[in-house]
């Protein structure tokens, strides 16, 4: 599976099958909390987040962090060179820490 979706700026983001498997194995809380049951619902979460983010930041390497606020958590989709690399959930404590130390520039 290779899916391409456009972000809020119209830039194409690639989603590879390996991402689904990575998140399912390394971040199972994403599936449980967001109610993701299959690849299609996984893609829909990504699409919604990159098309309508609450905030977007970049770091010194050019990695982009698309954040979508969901109650007291943020869905964080990490992309590099227009390819989605991982997805995880961020609580407020981690959000504040990342905002100060890693996410250097606010894009949106």
CA 34 to each of CA 2, 17, 21, 69: distance values in angstroms, whole numbers, following the listed order: 22, 19, 16, 12
Query: 3-state DSSP call for residue 62?
Result: coil
Query: Beta partners for 15?
Result: 3
Domain that holds residue 66: 2-106
Is residue 24 predicted with pLDDT exceeding 90? Answer: yes
* C-alpha of 2 from chain center: 17
pLDDT in tens, 39-86: 999 999 999 999 999 999 999 999 999 999 999 999 999 999 999 999
Q: What is the pTM of this model?
A: 0.94
- Find the mean pLDDT for residues 95-105: 91
pLDDT band for position 17 (cuts 50, 70, 90): confident
CATH code assigned at 49: 3.30.1450
Angle at 31 between CA 45 and CA 48, to 5 degrees: 5
Token pair in block for residue 7: 């972000």
Q: Please tell me the total count of domains within the chain.
A: 1
> Following DSSP, what letter does each residue of 2-25 receive, concatenated?
EEEEE-TTS-EEEEEHHHHHHHHH
* C-alpha of 57 from chain center: 11
Confirm if 34 and 45 have CB atoms less than 8 A apart.
yes
């Amino acid at each position: 599976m290779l899916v391409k979706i456009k972000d809020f700026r119209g830039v194409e983001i690639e989603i590879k099958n390996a991402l689904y498997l990575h998140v399912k194995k390394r971040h199972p809380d994403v599936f449980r909390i967001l109610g993701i049951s299959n690849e299609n619902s996984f893609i829909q979460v990504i699409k919604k987040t990159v098309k309508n983010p609450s905030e977007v930041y970049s770091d010194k390497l050019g990695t982009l962090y698309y954040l979508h606020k969901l109650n007291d958590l943020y869905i964080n989709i990490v992309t590099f060179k227009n390819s989605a690399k991982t997805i995880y959930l961020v609580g407020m404590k981690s959000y504040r820490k990342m905002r100060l130390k890693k996410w250097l520039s606010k894009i949106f």
